[in-house]
Each structure stands twice: as structure tokens, then as C-alpha cells.
Structure 1
Amino acid sequence: MAELAPLLPNEDGVILVGKTRVSLDTVVTVFNQGATAEEIIYRYPSLKLADVYATIAFYLKHPSEVEAYLQQRRQYAQEIREMNQARFDPQSIRDRLFARRADQEAC
């Protein structure tokens, strides 16, 4: 009997491994950097070795689907980054901090 991969989406649509807060993104990224399953659980001790092996197996069997999901996640992260940069212009913040410092030094 085949076992299902221990992958479950949370309320935000992020796929998590097992009953942890470690994402599929994290496991795949570290695996692609050359980490073994044992090294992955060393880095993320909340993971179970069997879950990591099952996740890697799922990734290797379904690379196009996982890559599509990862691309969606990267695109979403980029959109959030752009939104935050638009809302919190780093140059504006820097200018205000320098102005505040100048005011404090003048006193």
C-alpha cells in the first residue's frame, strides 16, 4: 500500500511537512542545495525522518507540480516585497531617521 506524502496546506495555502511549521519550500530548497534527509532533520528537528524522505520522494516523482507551486510562492513573495517597499519607502525612512538624529544633536 502506497503512503501519501505528509504534505498539508495551512490556511494561507503554504504547504507544510507533517505536523510542523516547516514548509515544502524549505525542504526542497535545502535538498536542492545538497542536504541529505538526515541533515535536513538536523537543521529542522521538528521534522520526522520518514516525513522528509516521503517529501523528497514526492518532489522527485512530481517535479513539475512542485516547481509550479514554488514558482507561485516566489511570485507571491515578490508581490509582497513590492507592496512593502511601496508602503515603507526605505529612503524615506532613512531620511526621517537622519533628520531625527540631527534634531537630537542640535538640542
Structure 2
Amino acid sequence: MSVKAEFKVSAPPFRWDESGGIRIGQSRVTLDSLLAAYHSGFTPEEIAFQYSVLHLEEIYSAIAYYLNHRQEIDNYLEQRRQKAQQQRSELSQQYNLVNLRQRLSDHALQAQGELISDASTS
């Protein structure tokens, strides 16, 4: 008696977004996020709980693809990390984000003080 089984091989559930990132399936979850959870020790089931928009088979497929193409995916992740660092640096220089919270707080206190003094002179 012979048993015949057919298997369907499917492509990983990846799609490129407008910023050059890889998304999982039709969700907005990035491969970066999924792999960060995986590298933090989360199981595929825990990742599915964390990202309820993902199907368990998409998570397993993405992890399997990563394990079979580790060098390419690690290169992609490193490029994304460098791009994010460059963008943070540019924003910091362009908008002087140093002490932003303190300046906003000072401005709010100043505005509040002006409101109080306006109310007392009326």
C-alpha cells in the first residue's frame, strides 16, 4: 500500500511598503517587529497573541524564511537600523529636539502665568 501526499509550497507572506520596509501579510506589522519579538524569546503563539492581526501560519512562515535566509534578513535589518539612526540624527539637528520637553513645559508655565495675571488685572 502506498501513500501519496501532495504539499503546496508557498512564498513567505511578505510585502514591501512605501518606505522600503517588509510587512507581514496584509497587516501593518513589520518583519522587524516580528523578529524582535522572536529574538526576545517569544514563541510564535505568543507573537500571534501580541499581534492579533497575524495568522499563526504567517508567523511560522516568516520565522522559517528568516532561519533559511538569515544573512539576507540580517543585512536588511542592519540597513533599516542604520537608516532609522540617520533619520533620528537628521531630525535632531533640524528641529533641535534637545530639551524639547523642558522648553514645552516652560512655555506652558509662562502661558499659564500670563493667563493668571490677565485674570487678576480684569
TM-score (norm 2): 0.78
The CA deviation at 1:98 is: 2.1
Structure 1: which 5+ runs fail to align?
Answer: none
Partner of 1:41: 48
The CA deviation at 1:2 is: 2.2
**Identity level (%):** 32
Which protein, 1 or 2, shows the higher relative CO under an 8 Å CA cutoff with sep ≥ 6? Answer: 1
Partner of 1:50: 57
- Of the two, which has the highest radius of gyration? 2
Question: 1:73-88 residue pairs with structure 2 within 5 A?
Answer: 73-88=80-95
RMSD, aligned α-carbons: 1.9
Aligned length: 107
The CA deviation at 1:37 is: 0.6
Q: Indicate how the Cα distance of structure 1 residues 99 and 27 shifts in structure 2: closer, same or farther if over 3 A, else same.
A: closer
Question: 1:94-105 residue pairs with structure 2 within 5 A?
Answer: 94-95=102-103, 97-98=105-106, 101-102=109-110, 104-105=112-113
Give 1:88's aligned amino acid. Answer: Y
TM-score (norm 1): 0.88
The CA deviation at 1:77 is: 0.6
The CA deviation at 1:92 is: 6.1
CA distance in 1, matches of 2:99, 2:37: 36
- Structure 1 stretches (4+) deviating beyond 4 angstroms? none
CA distance in 2, matches of 1:68, 1:29: 15
Structure 2: which 5+ runs fail to align?
Answer: 1-7, 118-122
SS at match of 1:3: coil
Are 2:10 and 1:3 equivalent residues in the alignment? yes
